[in-house]
Amino acid sequence: DKKITIAIDGFSSTGKSTLAKQLAKHLGYVYVDTGAMYRAVTYYAMQKGYIDDTHFDKTALIKDLPNINLRFSFNSELGFAEMYLNGENVEKVIRTLEVSNKVSRVAEVSEVRAKLVEQQQEMGADKGVVMDGRDIGTVVFPNAELKLYMTASAITRAQRRYDELIAKGDTVTYEQVLKNVEERDRIDSSREDSPLVKADDAIAIDNSKLTIQEQFDKVLRLVADVC
């Protein structure tokens, strides 16, 4: 079987990473969670005081970009790669609502995108990769052999994200999570640089009513079609 590139895009909490992890494991491919990279840059900007709830010093962040080193390191116990920022494991802290509430503003910055896209293209250069994000099929790998565009209702997605955060011990309300999901959807799909759009040749999958297994089976058939 030839190795291919699988690009998975969609709004937040549409189950992209669940599907991507399953596929990577099954196919023996590398999984790259590009959202984790934008989250890590956001966390860095928060630590440095470049961004908070009300202000964002883009110029300072842009100037500091060369000092941000991102690396994925596979954790065999967990079965997936964890995000490291300048040598520190930030896998957990980048998933908090504090980061989620700022990440879309950081992801609007073209200089940030250029840096991360370049690194993503390097990581996928040898194919055999499943990458999820917002612009993978449109910008990062426009020639990907298989492009998926995931959708699900905002309510379904907020409930999923809420359950996830609660399971991790976070204290958030459903309303806070729904508000964050809707706000990120709005910014991610209306920004100027690389907005979230379905690539013309992407296959749309609405998983509001699919179980994880049904979705996986469906996608494996699509993979078999192109391999």
Would you say 74 is a known binding-site residue?
A: no
Task: Say if residue 12 is exposed, middle or buried (CB neighbours under 10 Å; 0-12, 13-18, 19+).
Answer: buried
Query: How far apart are alpha carbons 117 and 110 in whole angstroms?
Result: 10
Residue from 19, 20, 27, 38 touching ligand C5P (CB under 6 A): that is 38
135 scored as a contact of ligand C5P (CB under 6 A): yes
Query: How far apart are alpha carbons 196 and 77 in whole angstroms?
Result: 33
What is the C-alpha R_g of the chain? 17
35: nearest Cα among 5, 10, 57: 10
For ligand C5P, give the closer residue by CB, 164 or 217.
164
For ligand C5P, give the closer residue by CB, 104 or 207.
104
Positions in 155-194 near ligand C5P (CB under 6 A): 184, 188
Nearest distance from residue 77's CB to ligand C5P, in Å? 22
91 scored as a contact of ligand C5P (CB under 6 A): no
For ligand C5P, give the closer residue by CB, 4 or 196.
196
Query: How far apart are alpha carbons 204 and 183 in whole angstroms?
Result: 22
Paired strand residues for 75: 80
138 scored as a contact of ligand C5P (CB under 6 A): no
31 scored as a contact of ligand C5P (CB under 6 A): no
Would you say 194 is a known binding-site residue?
A: no
Would you say 12 is a known binding-site residue?
A: yes
Would you say 11 is a known binding-site residue?
A: yes
Q: How many helices, marked H, and strands, marked E, lie in the chain?
A: 8, 8
Count of residues touching ligand C5P (by CB under 6 A): 13
Nearest distance from residue 12's CB to ligand C5P, in Å? 4
Query: How far apart are alpha carbons 48 and 161 in whole angstroms?
Result: 27
CB contact set of 99 (below 8 Å; sequence gap of 6+) = 39, 42, 43, 46, 93
For ligand C5P, give the closer residue by CB, 4 or 107.
107
Instruction: Report residue 118 CA to chain centroid gap.
Output: 16
Would you say 208 is a known binding-site residue?
A: no
10 scored as a contact of ligand C5P (CB under 6 A): no
Paired strand residues for 10: 150
> Binding segment for ligand C5P among 18-26, 35-43, 71-79, 207-215 (CB under 6 A)?
35-43
For ligand C5P, give the closer residue by CB, 124 or 133.
133
Instruction: Write out the two tokens for 112.
Output: 């940030």
Point out the annotated binding site for ATP: 10-18
The residues that touch ligand C5P, with contacts defined as CB under 6 A, are 12, 34-35, 38-39, 103-104, 107, 133-135, 184, 188
